[in-house]
Amino acid sequence: MYLIVGLGNPEKQYEKTFHNIGFIAVGDAAEALGAKFKKKECEASVAEAHINGEKIILARPLTYMNNSGRAVKQLMSKYKIAPENLIVIYDDYDLPKGKVRIRASGSAGTHNGMRSVIGETGLTNFARIRVGIRDEEVNIPIINYVLSEIKKEDYELFAEACKKAGAAAAEFAKGETIDKVMGKFN
């Protein structure tokens, strides 16, 4: 069983912001796997897919970014998800806009949502897909930037990055090793 989590904020006002890149990308992963977000459980909006007899849970935590770890911990417990079968997708200010980077493990970096996931689960040995959002031309505090709306001229760039991130997560959930997914998508 696999768990794919996209980090973001649940309210409509955040829908097109940089901080909701994870929500967008997990939606793309759900589409690639033929799943629809139909239910709420464990403080998350959840979709289910079945591939080769394997159940795949896709989730968007409804706890807001800084408390994302609560939902991840609950889902991992409910579905008995092993750390090696968890992948988290999120925006990353430390990467240039549109860049997708996959890692098998790591720290939270500057990301509060990942800090919450690591803090709640006590784990760092799970895969993550980071979608870069940094724009060298913008000089405002990070908190203001991540909650700002993606510029129209950048929409296509981020749509493609989210599709790539979603496709990478789907391949991982279909049983591809994280090393092969990194080799193909990094």
Residues serving a catalytic function are: 19
Confidence check: pLDDT of 150 > 90: yes
CA distances for 132 relative to 14, 68, 135, 161, angstroms = 18, 19, 9, 9
Confidence check: pLDDT of 21 > 90: yes
H helical segments located in 11-146: 21-33, 68-79, 112-121, 142-146
Predicted pLDDT at 59: 98
pTM of the model: 0.96
pLDDT digits (tens, 9 = 90+) for 108-128: 988 999 999 999 999 999 999
What letter does residue 142 receive in the DSSP assignment? H
Predicted pLDDT at 110: 86
Closest to 5 (Cα-Cα) out of 166, 164, 146: 166
Predicted pLDDT at 52: 85
Predicted pLDDT at 68: 98
Region 175-184 average pLDDT: 95
- Give dist(CA 179, CA 66) in Å, integer: 29
Structural domains in the chain, sorted by start: 2-185 (3.40.50.1470)
User: What average pLDDT does the structure give for the chain?
Assistant: 96
CA distances for 3 relative to 40, 56, 96, 162, angstroms = 15, 6, 27, 17
Containing 89, the helix (H) or strand (E) segment is strand 86-96
Predicted pLDDT at 13: 95
pLDDT digits (tens, 9 = 90+) for 64-102: 999 999 999 999 999 999 999 999 999 999 999 999 999
Predicted pLDDT at 107: 94
- Give dist(CA 52, CA 174) in Å, integer: 8
pLDDT tier for residue 44 given thresholds of 50, 70 and 90? very high
Confidence check: pLDDT of 138 > 90: no
Confidence check: pLDDT of 137 > 90: no
Closest to 25 (Cα-Cα) out of 84, 88, 95, 118: 88
CA distances for 21 relative to 47, 54, 81, 91, 164, angstroms = 17, 26, 23, 5, 12
